Amino acid sequence: MKILVLNAGSSSLKFQLFGLPDLRVLASGLIEQIGDEQSPARLILFDDAGSEQTLKRTTAVAEHRKAIMVMADLLRESGAMTDINELAGIGHRVVHGGEAFHEPVLIDESVLAAVEELIPLAPLHNPANLTGIRVAMEHADTVPQVAVFDTAFHQTIPDYGYLYALPYTLYEEQKVRRYGFHGTSHGYVAGQAAHYLSKPLAGLNIISLHLGNGASAAAVQGGNCIDTSMGLTPLEGLIMGTRSGDLDPAILFYLARETGMDMDDLDTLLNKQSGLKGICGENDMRTITELAEQGDQQARLALTMFCYRLKKYIGAYIAALGGVDCIVFTGGIGENSAIVRQMSCQGLERLGIILDTEKNAQRHNETFEIQATDSMVSILVVPTDEELAIATQTMQVINNA
């Protein structure tokens, strides 16, 4: 039996096929640039011996409906899956579950309606997620399908943490509040950290730092999230590739008045032209690190700002948690950038956070620790695996149904 995990983005479809019962990855694929005339589609097939075989195709994929057909073709052609109805389940990543979903759920019409209602909160993502679900349900109507929400893990944040200091009616009527994102990743790496430390998650205070193109921090107490840096949307919090993260909201009124920028201009400015890119023109941390090493002042500034913001969140979450046992770095930057880990922990020695430079310079494909022997706080690098987490939760929901 097999489980398929689908992650439909606004113009992409990621998918991964897992074998049961051990949830071994059988195939992994990506279709990009959906909507363009030519959309690259790729499938990597993994065999028992650990070798890989890649199937590539460039085809016109006008929309997600077609993308799912191309995915099914690739899976059939590779031999990984002969018929979509042979699956034990399909797990769907859904970005926004609002306040309606605190955990993964078996999808039925009422779930679809609730996800649809949440579109205004995630106008780019929820429609793509919904199409993915609908098409998968049409093609595999006997296969149980599960929605796993990016926001669900953060539903344990208390009201004083998730409310903005705006008129309360805006929360009641417009649902304006902090939701947070990357929840599947934060939940997964917190669990992996407890496993690595051989300690029950229930007894740990963890600060999880998911640093990829999008970046967020979460304060996790006994396995429950008590605060996170992203808000109503993924724009708030840390500095990201192209997103500003925190700023004085009055900057928007100022810019609108002084420059005539309208809502859409400001949206583009903050989401697409800011962050690392806004400061140094680049949004890829590898390029920025190389430029900074070569003496590029703007790249150095972007890197310093990124790490300073991160350090402020670590400090804030130590206060929120009343002390921290473990800091986890994950995501493309968190897992790979020794300089970001070093700069964001620098100066926190008096708080018991001491990095070991040599350990930090290492690279592994699995969880490893980078704290010095005299550090009171464990500092871990944990590779995230959102697809595996979705597959695991999908199986749990189906088994409990």
> Would you name the residues annotated as active-site residues?
150
The answer to whether the CB of 330 falls within 8 A of the CB of 210 is yes
Give the helix, strand, coil percentages of the chain, each rounded to 5: 45, 20, 35
Judged by CB under 6 A, the residue of 8, 70, 74, 285 near ligand AMP is 285
The residue among 184 and 375 lying less far from ligand AMP, judged by its C-beta, is 184
Stretch that binds ligand AMP, among 38-46, 90-98, 267-275, 325-333 (CB under 6 A): 325-333
Q: Which residues contact 334 (CB under 8 A, 6 or more apart)?
A: 209, 210, 211, 212, 328, 340, 341, 381
Task: Rank residues 131 and 336 by Cβ distance to ligand AMP and give the closer one.
Answer: 336
Residues 335-354, mask of contacts with ligand AMP (x by CB under 6 A): -xx-----------------
- Residue from the set 284, 298, 320, 356 that interacts with ligand AMP by CB under 6 A: 284
Q: Contacts with ligand AMP: how many residues (CB under 6 A)?
A: 12
Looking at the Cβ atoms of 16 and 337, the one nearer to ligand AMP is 337
Token digits of residue 103 = 């955990």
Q: Binder to ligand AMP among 286, 297, 319, 401 (CB under 6 A)?
A: 286
Distance CA 382, CA 385 (A): 9
In the bound complex, what is the minimum distance in angstroms from residue 87's beta carbon to ligand AMP?
A: 27
Task: Rule CB under 6 A: say whether 9 interacts with ligand AMP.
Answer: no
Give the integer Cα–Cα distance in Å for 380 and 192. Answer: 10
Stretch that binds ligand AMP, among 5-13, 111-119, 189-197, 333-341 (CB under 6 A): 333-341
CA atoms within 13 A on the CB side of 243: 18
Which residue's CB comes closest to ligand AMP?
Answer: 332
Q: Which of 81, 121, 201, 333 binds ligand AMP (CB under 6 A)?
A: 333
C-beta separation of 33 from 39 below 8 A? yes
Interaction residues for ligand AMP, span 117-156 (CB under 6 A): none
* Bridge partners (DSSP) listed for residue 327: 207, 379
Q: Is 34 or 240 the residue whose CB approaches ligand AMP more closely?
A: 240
Residue pair 185/228 in contact by the 8 Å Cβ criterion:
no
Residue 38 · residue 29 · CB < 8 Å? no
Q: Smallest gap, in angstroms, from Cβ of residue 382 to ligand AMP?
A: 13
CB of 138 to ligand AMP, least distance (A): 31
Residue list 186-225, contact with ligand AMP (CB under 6 A): 212-213
Minimum CB separation of residue 323 from ligand AMP in Å reads 28
Exposure string over 164-193, b if 16+ CB within 10 A, otherwise e: eeeeeeebeeeebbbbbbbbbbbbbbbbbb
User: How long is the chain?
Assistant: 401
Site map (CB under 6 A) of ligand AMP, residues 222-241, x = contact: -------------------x
Dihedral over Cα of 123, 31, 211, 242: its sign: negative
Phi-psi region of 181 (alpha: psi -120 to 50; beta: other; left: phi over 0): beta
Least distance to ligand AMP from the beta carbon of 331, Å? 4
Question: What residue ranges bind ligand AMP (CB under 6 A)?
Answer: 212-213, 241, 284-286, 289, 331-333, 336-337
